[in-house]
Amino acid sequence: MDAWLIGVPAAATLAGAAIAFGAANPRSQMFGGTIFHTAAPDQLAITFDDGPNPAITPKLLDLLSRYDAKATFFLIGRFVRECPALTKEIAEHGHVLANHTETHPNLFWLTQSAVSDEMQRCQGALQAATGDGAKYFRPPWGFRNPWVIRTASELGMQTVMWTLLPGDWRARSTEWLTERMRPIARRAERSAAGQAGDVLCLHDGAHRALGGDRSHTIKALEYWLPRWRDLGLKFVTISQAVKLPAR
């Protein structure tokens, strides 16, 4: 256990709950400012975690191209090292590449130097594949501690969370996942000026190994992309989404 946790009195269950909230809640700003929405209600930032994945990412690139949709890919460094050509291809399609650590650990339990090492190794993999490091970072499972966001910032990255996490990694059917993604359309129908837009978190890979099956994710997007477009949503990268400062 790290020193900052020992400082929490054992009896203070509320403090424990607050820390759990701050560590995992996508909107919590307890451990530092994060980006978790876009600047306008008609801007939808679609993001993909846990790739690159040769079994899924190429199909996804084709699908996104069909709708001229740009997205943000939070890549795992060790997969980038195994698939440098695919990594480069994602960038060449106009998508933003972002950092999702080297090995996908739960950062909550790691020391600051271990957190920094995970981030830097992924930056190194991205640099080797494309010539550039990432400007955006997403912690595995969204877990943060007091130094995750600060360390990302010291390495030149803003931390990105989400407004909607449909749970595509546990989808048993495309219908189930399609329903779980319906809040995006509901909010787009009701949106008013001055509101923020959604950051959708999906997965084109599985963090344990290359080749994870995310075909429900592709099929649910095949359903939603034309409908979202018809509702007036614009598909933006995180770089395009943060014209306003993070709050």
Catalytic residue numbers read 49, 203
Residue 43 or 99 with smaller CB distance to Zn ion: 99
Residue 49 or 234 with smaller CB distance to Zn ion: 49
User: Which stretch, 10-18, 54-62, 140-148, 158-166, contacts Zn ion (CB under 5 A)?
Assistant: 140-148
CA distances from 138 to 30, 191, 232 (A): 16, 27, 27
User: Which stretch, 29-37, 129-137, 139-147, 157-165, contacts Zn ion (CB under 5 A)?
Assistant: 139-147
Give the whole-angstrom CA distance, residue 153 versus residue 125. Answer: 18
Phi, psi dihedrals of residue 42, rounded to the nearest 5°: -90, 5
The two three-digit tokens of residue 121, written as one number: 């190794």
Give the whole-angstrom CA distance, residue 101 versus residue 137. Answer: 8
Residue 32 interacts with Zn ion (CB under 5 A)?
Answer: no
**Closest distance to Zn ion from the beta carbon of 50 (Å):** 4
Q: Nearest to Zn ion by Cβ — which residue?
A: 49
Side chain identity at 83, as an amino acid letter?
A: C
Residue 55 or 185 with smaller CB distance to Zn ion: 55
**Inter-residue contact 168 to 22 (CB < 8 Å):** no
Compute the chain's Rg from CA coordinates.
18
Residue 169 or 228 with smaller CB distance to Zn ion: 169
Residue 102 interacts with Zn ion (CB under 5 A)?
Answer: no
**Closest distance to Zn ion from the beta carbon of 75 (Å):** 10
Pick from 41, 139, 140, 205 the residue near Zn ion by CB under 5 A: 140
Q: If residue 89 lies in a helix (H) or strand (E), which one and from where to where?
A: helix 84-92
Residue 137 or 228 with smaller CB distance to Zn ion: 137
**Closest distance to Zn ion from the beta carbon of 181 (Å):** 18
**Closest distance to Zn ion from the beta carbon of 154 (Å):** 22
Nearest Cα neighbor of 158 from 40, 246, 39 is: 246
Beta-carbon contacts of residue 175 (< 8 Å; ≥ 6 apart): none
Number of residues that bind Zn ion (CB under 5 A): 3
Residue 77 interacts with Zn ion (CB under 5 A)?
Answer: no
Residue 133 or 140 with smaller CB distance to Zn ion: 140
Give the whole-angstrom CA distance, residue 245 versus residue 242. Answer: 6
**Closest distance to Zn ion from the beta carbon of 27 (Å):** 18
Please provide the size of the chain in residues. Answer: 247
**Closest distance to Zn ion from the beta carbon of 53 (Å):** 12
159-170 burial, b at 16+ Cβ within 10 Å, e below that, comes to: bbbbbbbbebbe
Q: What residues numbered 38-57 form the site for Zn ion, per CB under 5 A?
A: 49-50
Q: What is the binding site for Zn ion (CB under 5 A)?
A: 49-50, 140
